[in-house]
Amino acid sequence: MILQALYELYGRLEKDPLYEVAPLGFSLQQITFCVVLNSDGTLHAIEDVRQADGKRWRPRLLRVPGYTKSPGSGFNPGFLWDNSGYMLGYKPKDTKPERTHKSFVAYRNRHLELQDQIQSERFAVVCHFLSKWAPENAVEFPVLDEVNPGYGVFQIRGEAAYIHEDETIQNWWIVNQSSQDYENRGYCLITGECGPIMETQPKIKRVGEQSESLLVSFNAPAFESYQKKQSLNAPVSEEAAFKYATALNALLAGPMSHRHRFRLADTTVVFWTDQPSSAEDYLAAFFAQSARADAEKKQANGQDESIVERLKLLLSALSRGKEAYGDLDGNPERTKFYMLGLTGQAKGRIGVRFFYEDSLLNLLEHLRKHFKDIELVPWSGYGKDHRWHTPEFPELWQILDETAPRRQGKVDRDQIPPLLAGPLLRSVITGQRYPEGLYQALLRRIHADRQVNYIRCCVLKGCLKRNQGKEISMCLDQERKEPAYWTGCLFAALEKTQYDALGEVGASIRDRFYGSASATPRSVFPRLLRTYQHHLAKMER
């Protein structure tokens, strides 16, 4: 189901120029350097083409002929692009110089063999350069050490376009080299059609800490069956593999990835709809960690105020229910929603944490149910006291933060239980039970910190209501008759009075008396009521 959904998504993204999805036979690659040639084929310079992003330098995404290079012990030279080992016969801190030299020879031979077939003056310039280039000269260009690792392309001095973008070269590539010669043919699991089957499927970018990984792989004989090697155990045609990988890479690392990707603890999550919908923008702003804080900061600087407006529209719709979903373009009932949780694994593999498919209407209803379950009446009596910050719609990252300890006032997110983020997200978007570990983690933090705040109360209330079916009111219930309930309310009123009279103190009555008041209220409350009179005297009229 995952691959089929991504395969279908490619058809939608291909029609939208904002996603810059490459057609069949091409791919988007991270280009870090450019080999600039003179018109006679001599080397002019090697330039750094990375783009500044704040204090960091990021590769430039360019569409190039061919796909992401497959791993293996053989040689697989690209066409008019590749790393410095193939293009120039040089790698910084090279531990296998002999193999690097053979890589350059394979790259050079591939292009020289095609010189007679491609009637292009620009391609002839590249061939002349490769035939005369001496790899030992690459040490004269320290820029190669700065841009490694990364891919490079060719350019002729004085021209804005790169050589691989030449129309004659691209037309030749589409006709002659857009697909490889595959030995294996069979029925594709995605399309059901018979065609060439890829032995090693394309790589997926930016999952966890790994730059490139495999979603479908069989990297040991124990996983293989019927003497089939690697991905032949899960046969996917070249076209289908290209489309699902291209679509997923567009969500993870493309120019519109901010609209579809977010990180929740150690899980990389992507989501999409089967047809264009403004709901993607609203959900992106809602799901992303610190989205609201970033939006408020940008709004203060006069930047991207639309993020705040998108959030307000979605959250307002969730509050009002189905009648407000008409504010979102499209038909939520007929629009399908998908969410995929991925995590990086060892040996360049990707693990699937969860996959969710439902209508957009059901998703919005589940979100509304989640906020209804954890809803409490905000209490502004504590003013700016950080303990009682009362967001109307607590975000997932705020809930997870409450399960981790704080170091010098900052949340130590490395201590968030690693298997909590995925189940929490799943329970929110599917309307299922909250993970039991969430309830236990919050109780442990309350016991360790000796502190209860608004978000913790909201989540505890939601767990009791959804998981155990207990009806818990949002505010004071005048109909309750239990002495324990009213004694607890009295204790809260006494602590509130202390805060109003004295403000922040080193140890409040909650810190000093909560345990004893719960165990032996008859002996503790008379003393607290006498202290209460003292606090009343200090309060202003």
Which pLDDT band holds residue 68 (cuts at 50, 70, 90)? Answer: low
Task: Compute CA distances 433 → 428, 430, 438, 459, whole Å.
Answer: 9, 9, 11, 12
Which phi and psi (to 5°) does residue 129 adopt?
Answer: -65, -45
Q: Which two tokens stand for residue 492?
A: 């809260």
pLDDT tens sequence across 451-502: 888 899 999 999 999 999 988 887 788 888 889 999 999 998 998 899 888 8
Which phi and psi (to 5°) does residue 516 adopt?
Answer: -70, -35
Beta bridge partners of 187: 194
Instruction: Give dist(CA 479, CA 193) in Å, integer.
Output: 67
pLDDT at 303: 33
Instruction: Give dist(CA 436, CA 492) in Å, integer.
Output: 28
Averaged pLDDT for residues 31-50: 95
Task: Compute CA distances 259 → 11, 32, 251, 255, whole Å.
Answer: 18, 25, 8, 9
pLDDT tens sequence across 399-439: 999 999 988 878 888 888 878 888 999 999 999 999 999 99
Sign of the Cα torsion 460, 464, 467, 471 reads negative
Nearest Cα to Cα of residue 308 among 290, 296, 297: 296
Instruction: Please identify which residue in the block is written with the tokens 């809930």.
Output: 399
Q: Which of the two residues, 270 and 407, has the higher pLDDT score?
A: 270
Query: Would you say 30 and 151 are in contact if contact means Cβ atoms under 8 Å apart?
Result: yes
Question: Can you give the pTM of this predicted structure?
Answer: 0.73
Instruction: Give dist(CA 61, CA 53) in Å, integer.
Output: 13
Q: Which two tokens stand for residue 221?
A: 């004989």
Would the pLDDT of 84 be above 50?
A: yes
Query: Would you say 49 and 34 are in contact if contact means Cβ atoms under 8 Å apart?
Result: yes
Nearest Cα to Cα of residue 427 among 463, 381, 452: 463
Instruction: Please identify which residue in the block is written with the tokens 């909250």.
Output: 434
Q: Which of the two residues, 218 and 347, has the higher pLDDT score?
A: 218
Instruction: Please identify which residue in the block is written with the tokens 């910050």.
Output: 389
Nearest Cα to Cα of residue 242 among 197, 272, 207, 299: 197
Neighbouring C-alpha atoms within 13 Å toward the C-beta of 447: 6
pLDDT at 514: 85
Report for 61-70, 302-311, 325-334, 379-388: range of highest mean pLDDT? 61-70
Which pLDDT band holds residue 226 (cuts at 50, 70, 90)? Answer: confident
Is residue 465 classed exposed, middle or buried when 0-12, 13-18 and 19+ CB atoms within 10 A define those classes?
Answer: middle
Beta bridge partners of 26: 65
Q: Cis peptide before 149, with omega less than 30 degrees from 0?
A: yes
Would the pLDDT of 52 be above 70?
A: yes
Averaged pLDDT for residues 123-137: 95
Would the pLDDT of 8 be above 90?
A: yes
> Is beta strand 267-273 parallel, antiparallel or unpaired with respect to 261-264?
antiparallel
Would the pLDDT of 292 be above 50?
A: no
Which pLDDT band holds residue 378 (cuts at 50, 70, 90)? Answer: confident
Angle between helices 2-14 and 238-253 (to 10 degrees): 70
DSSP 390-441: --SS--HHHHHHTTS-EETTEE-GGGS-TTTHHHHHHHHHH--PPPHHHHHH
pLDDT at 293: 41
Would the pLDDT of 297 be above 60?
A: no
Would the pLDDT of 174 be above 60?
A: yes
Query: Would you say 267 and 422 are in contact if contact means Cβ atoms under 8 Å apart?
Result: yes
pLDDT at 290: 41
Could you list the beta-strand ranges (E) of 131-232.
151-156, 185-187, 194-196, 204-207, 210-213
